[in-house]
Structure 1
Amino acid sequence: MTLKFGTSGLRGLVSELRGPPAFIYTAAFVRMLQDRGSLKEGSKVYVGRDLRASSPEIAQLVHAAVGGAGLVPVDCGALPTPALALYANSENAPAIMVTGSHIPEDRNGLKFYRADGEIDKRDEGDIVQIHAGMKDTVPPRSPVEPARLGAEPSRRYAERFLGFFEKGSLSGLRVGVYQHSSVARDIIVDILRGLGAETIPLGRADHFIPVDTEALRPEDVALLKDWAAAERFDAIVSTDGDSDRPLVADNDGIFVRGDLVGAITANVLGADCVVTPVTSNSALEHCGHFARVLRTRVGSPYVIEGIGTALAEGARCVVGFEANGGVLLGSTVEKDGRSLPALRTRDSLLPILCVLSAIATTGRPLARIAADFRFLAGASGRLEGVPSENSASFLGKLATDAAYADKIFAVLGGVGNIDNRDGVRITARNAEVVHFRASGNAPELRCYVEAEAQSRADELLGWGLALGRAQILES
């Protein structure tokens, strides 16, 4: 079975999720909340979905499991994950998002929210344990008819930004919106136009496209450059499938990496502390924009935990972000009499709007704004179809066998430092970084690199992927 909890909820093949698994995992989630006394009979559970072909069917199974537990499933339709999370939190109710995020259409998943936010690793363990005791449960033959909410969650989500960013603040900007199969493809256009930007929809698709903001497909890279060459844009923006991760490109159609988008966002919001995983760029500690940088393992549960730590230790304004660009607002931001409440789940619209706001406010192109952060050139890629046990064997040997690591990194001068917080992040003696990490959502080995120049980073990524492929094949 491919089904397992990773960095973004439960994920796996559609063929293994649909039917009893989706029903039972949902039933286990609500049973956990009921056992803890946080859900009473008749309580509402809000359910949303992305635009994958399999999502409506899986959502029906979610509705059936919620209804079968004596609760009221509320169908919120297709909407961004952060919009669902925001609405459910405001109603003090749990939520379930049917989404596979950025992974291919033959996969899907479930993302669970307690009334106070995303589930954590302890919750995941409890759900798995309860699930094991319910494995023979069979879904009802007749579908459960949920209550229907309509567009209210999306409206509140849009109002969140239209009420914080000043009306007309994006006037004069011309922004392309790569719509593809993003569940936020229309709401992005509406919000940008509401703030005064001239907004041009691009590339709307009638089938699901797996846009991964950490590892763009060559087709997406080419599209961005072609659109930028054909028309004058100040930026081109988009999101992944469920719209919790942003995609931002500059006026030349050059992709701006997610951790840099996160850093620009944190700076615009006046953060004195950023919380981010070890995969984010090493320059964050040295760029001079933040009083503190707190590093975590990869995954929003760890970033959320880090946000709590930072606030407990006296940080005033905390912004969390991941290398994929998803921003978690850890504390309420006040600006010119307007307030933006904390939302501790990944969001794509906030970073998009902050980047565009920086362009509009400074009058400078995005490439020059980005250069102020002095990021090292980075690149990332992945080896697909690598079973987790193969990745574990390679990573384990790399982390524990110093002679082995030094030998294969001899071409980079040997190993200078190893960080094992999440995967194996090696800083070579020539100061270049190569980080191997098994994906939490799919059978993949990911590779992240840093170097002084982009051409060298691209070369280093090729070397790292070839190294990983060779070592895994040998094992």
Structure 2
Amino acid sequence: MTQSSLKFGTSGLRGLADELNGVPAYAYTSAFAEMLKADAPPGWTGEVLIGRDLRRSSPDIAALCGAALSGAGLIPLDAGEVPTPALALHGQRHGLPSLMVTGSHIPDDRNGLKFYRASGEIDKADEVRISTLHAALAPDLFQPPAARSAMQTVDVLPDYTRRYTETFGSEGLRGLRVGVYQHSSVARDLMVQIVTALGAEAVPLGRSDSFVPVDTEALREEDKALALQWASETRLDAIVSTDGDADRPLVADETGHFLRGDLLGVLSARQLGAEIVVTPVTSNSGIETSGAFAGVRRTRVGSPFVIEGMVEALRTATGPVLGFEANGGVLLGSAVPRGHGVIEALMTRDAMLPILCALSEIAAGRRLSEVAASAGFTSARSDRLKDVDPSRSAAFLERLGDAAFVQRELGDLGPLDDVGALDGVRIRAASGDVVHFRASGNAPELRVYVEAAGQEQAGRLLDWALGVAERNTR
């Protein structure tokens, strides 16, 4: 059986939906089940949560996952269409492993599986175990059931909703008028409910019947135009949204301009009093220069690497540890008292926490445009080349290790200060400009990140860097 598009990337197994929807979904879930049974903690009843996003293929894939769990002697619980962090939180509170059927932000023709132990996301070692067990199961011989079997349903949303209503308070966002860009986010109605419960007026916008691939690190031009249009047509203090499975936030200020995801992470870390922040190498250099945190630890891109860094930081930290990615998803490593409750640790990406922290800045009397302008971040831009053969991306990144090639292709940057290979190739010029190339772990794409002294310069640098990448990968 050929599964060329299916692989574990920065967050879970992903690939073409047509290739996942069938024996592969059944087989990979069976492998996950075997791992869970081998590591079963005392008292576990064999129940496993299943959630899904709003993609066309997700219901069928979720049914296959349920059949695989049943076939392995476990008990699948259908959580329905829910945010990934809500599913993980319920599993954490009730001692249940889970899996989420989602392709996150990637297009509708792709999908994926995210696996969770009761304690949180699986790590890279677990991914290897699942892949090894999958290979040993001889999936070519599997014959998933033709008919769906009924699953017991479970409501995971109350736990997640209380996480915020008890800590941000019913008056926490009083007086704010918040646009909620609903599109096809699995949290589109939940966002309205939570924002309203905290005292704000929620204005639903842009609901879509078809799946919209909102990538918070590489926004579509139409999303940018919509936010500017909505902000000009009506008074809004902010516009909020998420990606498909609601683990990445999207926040625009009162003028309709989107805030960077890593800035949302910093705002969250400041509000929650983080001592140490853990973030990938793609996040802005201004995090260190701000001096806001006792420690900043850099990792490769992907939540498993951030979690690994957070676990290490927790061994020595005396205060809260918080992780975030450049896409804005926040992972909380420590329980933090707030309001009339405690925001418990949740070491998986969450969109709602950074959204509410950003809105709390407005409730405290600051416009988000002012917050962004005073953050001390360098001007940063990012984009991607789509449909790039992974072998060509790999060859290009390897050639960036050759000094003669770098001089020929990137000589316009001037003298270089540093070349890092923690994840892809990140080049810092003596001028302070940064160009970072890395292959996506989720799709056949080459991502490009830049930093410069101003937005116009960053835009020119990004266009130039994309040209270099395209010339060497097409």
Common fold: TM-score over 0.5: yes
Structure 2 residue corresponding to 1:354, chosen from 344, 354, 357: 357
Counterparts of residues 255-294 of structure 1 (less than 5 Å): 255-294=258-297
1:424-448 deviation digits (Å, cap 9, x = unpaired): 0100122100000000000000000
Pairing 1:408–2:409 present? yes
* 1:459 matched residue in structure 2: 460
Contact kept, 8 Å, 2:168 with 2:338, in 1: the verdict is no
CA distance in structure 1 between the partners assigned to 2:135 and 2:184 by the alignment: 35
Counterparts of residues 246-395 of structure 1 (less than 5 Å): 246-336=249-339, 338-361=341-364, 363-395=365-397
Pairing 1:427–2:428 present? yes
- % identity of equivalent residues: 55
Contact kept, 8 Å, 1:33 with 1:39, in 2: the verdict is no
Contact kept, 8 Å, 2:275 with 2:317, in 1: the verdict is no
1:75-112 deviation digits (Å, cap 9, x = unpaired): 00000000000001111111010000000000000000
Judged with a 3 Å threshold, the aligned counterparts in structure 2 of structure 1 residues 223 and 60 are, in CA distance, closer, same or farther, namely same
Secondary structure of 1:112 counterpart: strand
Judged with a 3 Å threshold, the aligned counterparts in structure 2 of structure 1 residues 371 and 75 are, in CA distance, closer, same or farther, namely same
Shift of 1:335: 3.0
Structure 1 residue corresponding to 2:205, chosen from 195, 202, 206: 202
Secondary structure of 2:406 counterpart: helix
CA distance in structure 1 between the partners assigned to 2:148 and 2:307 by the alignment: 36
CA distance in structure 1 between the partners assigned to 2:261 and 2:44 by the alignment: 42
* 2:146 matched residue in structure 1: 141
Structure 2 residue corresponding to 1:185, chosen from 185, 188, 204: 188
CA distance in structure 2 between the partners assigned to 1:336 and 1:348 by the alignment: 20
Unaligned 5+ segments in structure 1 are none
1:320-369 deviation digits (Å, cap 9, x = unpaired): 000000000110101355211100000000000000011111x1111111
Q: Which amino acid letter does the alignment assign opposite residue 411 of structure 1?
A: D
CA distance in structure 2 between the partners assigned to 1:372 and 1:273 by the alignment: 21
CA distance in structure 1 between the partners assigned to 2:101 and 2:125 by the alignment: 21
Q: Which amino acid letter does the alignment assign opposite residue 320 of structure 2?
A: C
Q: Which amino acid letter does the alignment assign opposite residue 372 of structure 2?
A: A
Secondary structure of 1:442 counterpart: coil
Secondary structure of 1:110 counterpart: strand
Pairing 1:168–2:174 present? no
The range that moved more, 228-237 or 412-421, is 412-421
The range that moved more, 285-294 or 350-359, is 285-294
Contact kept, 8 Å, 2:279 with 2:296, in 1: the verdict is yes
Structure 1 residue corresponding to 2:67, chosen from 64, 68, 71: 64
Shift of 1:40: 8.3
1:107-143 deviation digits (Å, cap 9, x = unpaired): 0000000111100000000111111112222212332
Structure 2 residue corresponding to 1:34, chosen from 28, 32, 37: 37
CA distance in structure 1 between the partners assigned to 2:246 and 2:44 by the alignment: 32
CA RMSD of aligned residues (A): 1.2
1:204-234 deviation digits (Å, cap 9, x = unpaired): 0111000000000000000000000101111
CA distance in structure 2 between the partners assigned to 1:201 and 1:315 by the alignment: 41
Pairing 1:12–2:24 present? no
CA distance in structure 2 between the partners assigned to 1:321 and 1:378 by the alignment: 17
* 1:78 matched residue in structure 2: 81
CA distance in structure 1 between the partners assigned to 2:415 and 2:60 by the alignment: 52
CA distance in structure 2 between the partners assigned to 1:49 and 1:18 by the alignment: 13
Contact kept, 8 Å, 1:42 with 1:70, in 2: the verdict is no
Contact kept, 8 Å, 2:361 with 2:367, in 1: the verdict is no
CA distance in structure 1 between the partners assigned to 2:157 and 2:75 by the alignment: 20
Contact kept, 8 Å, 1:181 with 1:241, in 2: the verdict is yes
Shift of 1:461: 0.7
Pairing 1:211–2:246 present? no
* 1:245 matched residue in structure 2: 248
Q: Which amino acid letter does the alignment assign opposite residue 411 of structure 2?
A: A
Tell me the TM-score normalized by structure 1: 0.97
Q: Which amino acid letter does the alignment assign opposite residue 464 of structure 1?
A: A
Q: Which amino acid letter does the alignment assign opposite residue 296 of structure 2?
A: V
CA distance in structure 2 between the partners assigned to 1:453 and 1:220 by the alignment: 23
CA distance in structure 1 between the partners assigned to 2:445 and 2:42 by the alignment: 37
Q: Which amino acid letter does the alignment assign opposite residue 399 of structure 2?
A: K
* 2:398 matched residue in structure 1: 396
Secondary structure of 1:411 counterpart: helix
Structure 2 residue corresponding to 1:118, chosen from 118, 121, 129: 121
Secondary structure of 1:163 counterpart: helix
Structure 2 residue corresponding to 1:232, chosen from 224, 230, 235: 235
Shift of 1:37: 3.4
Contact kept, 8 Å, 1:409 with 1:415, in 2: the verdict is no
1:407-464 deviation digits (Å, cap 9, x = unpaired): 3221110432111000001001221000000000000000000001111111111111
Shift of 1:288: 2.3
Aligned length: 469
Contact kept, 8 Å, 2:417 with 2:430, in 1: the verdict is yes
Shift of 1:41: 8.8
Shift of 1:39: 8.5
Contact kept, 8 Å, 1:300 with 1:345, in 2: the verdict is yes
Contact kept, 8 Å, 1:177 with 1:202, in 2: the verdict is yes
Q: Which amino acid letter does the alignment assign opposite residue 390 of structure 2?
A: S
Contact kept, 8 Å, 1:41 with 1:70, in 2: the verdict is no
1:362-417 deviation digits (Å, cap 9, x = unpaired): x111111122321011110000011211111110110x212221332211104321
CA distance in structure 1 between the partners assigned to 2:420 and 2:165 by the alignment: 41
Secondary structure of 2:156 counterpart: helix
